[in-house]
Amino acid sequence: MNVNPHPRTAQKRRTRKAIVDAAIALLARGETPTVNDVAAAADVSRRTVYLYFPSFDQLLLDATVGALSQASVDRAIEQATDDGEARVEHLVRALHHVSPEVERLGRSLIRLTVDGAPAEQGVPRRGYRRIEWIEQALSPLRDRLEPDRWNRLVRALAMVIGWEALIVHRDICGLSAAEGEDLSVWAANALVKAALEEEQKAGAPVSGRRRKKDKLAK
């Protein structure tokens, strides 16, 4: 694995983000956007919008979920310390606090994603926003983990936080909101610690290896 996705995949993520962000901006202005409105605001074609969102309802749901959670989650990460584990906990708790607001929308989004037409290879169906938040929260740990371990940690965290986790807490585990939040924090911390311990057992941290390599080069 590489730290950064393939250039083509990265471009698709940026295009999808531009489409969703355009829809969020239009909704925030109190408008009821059409496909043409979103395409024009994102500077893409109607065909491109439908490539990423076979259903326009799916796009509007995704945009609404983003509008409800973006500001508070961004603020939580920005206000956190430079400690990677603490930043992840801030992210988990912030997502948990906004999850009840988006749970109903999230359930609908899951249904639309599952029932929708298969996405083109490499086109993200959902989740880019959460991946970016996790990468931002983990940024202080980036030089301490090998690229493959970093990517695995990002993906593992995406599985245990957010409104899908809230659904599991309630529907499967029968937990209260507070119990579910604490469980998500515990799971996220366990994943971060496991990744760091694996890296330590594998050898010196990446930053240490770089310093050693630079020293030998001199």
What does the pLDDT profile of the chain (218 residues) look like in tens digits? 344 555 666 788 789 888 988 988 887 787 788 899 999 999 999 999 988 887 788 788 777 777 667 777 878 888 878 888 899 999 999 888 876 666 666 666 666 566 655 555 555 555 567 888 899 999 999 999 999 999 999 999 999 988 788 889 988 999 998 999 999 999 999 999 999 999 999 875 545 444 444 444 44
Whether residue 186 lies inside any domain: the answer is yes
Residue 141: inside a domain, yes or no?
Answer: yes
Side chain identity, residue 73: V
Is 12 within the bounds of a domain?
no
Q: Is residue 188 part of a domain?
A: yes
Alpha-carbon gap, residue 196 to 86, rounded angstroms: 14
Whether this model's pTM surpasses 0.85: no
Q: Which amino acid would we find at residue 26?
A: L
Does 49 map to a domain? no
The alpha carbon of residue 40 and the mean position of all alpha carbons in its chain are separated, in whole angstroms, by 26
Residue 167 falls inside a structural domain = yes
How long is the chain?
A: 218
> Tens digit of pLDDT for each residue in 147-176?
999 999 999 999 998 878 888 998 899 999
Q: Cα–Cα distance between 128 and 119 in angstroms, integer?
A: 14
Q: How many Cα neighbours within 13 Å face the side chain of 96? A: 24
Domain tally, the chain? 1
Name the residue among 72, 58, 71 with its Cα closest to residue 106: 58
Domain assignment of residue 213, given as a range: 69-217
* CA 90 – CA 95 distance, rounded (Å): 9
42 assigned to some structural domain: no
The percentage of the chain sitting over the pLDDT mark of 90, rounded to a whole number, equals 33
Establish if 44 belongs to a structural domain: no
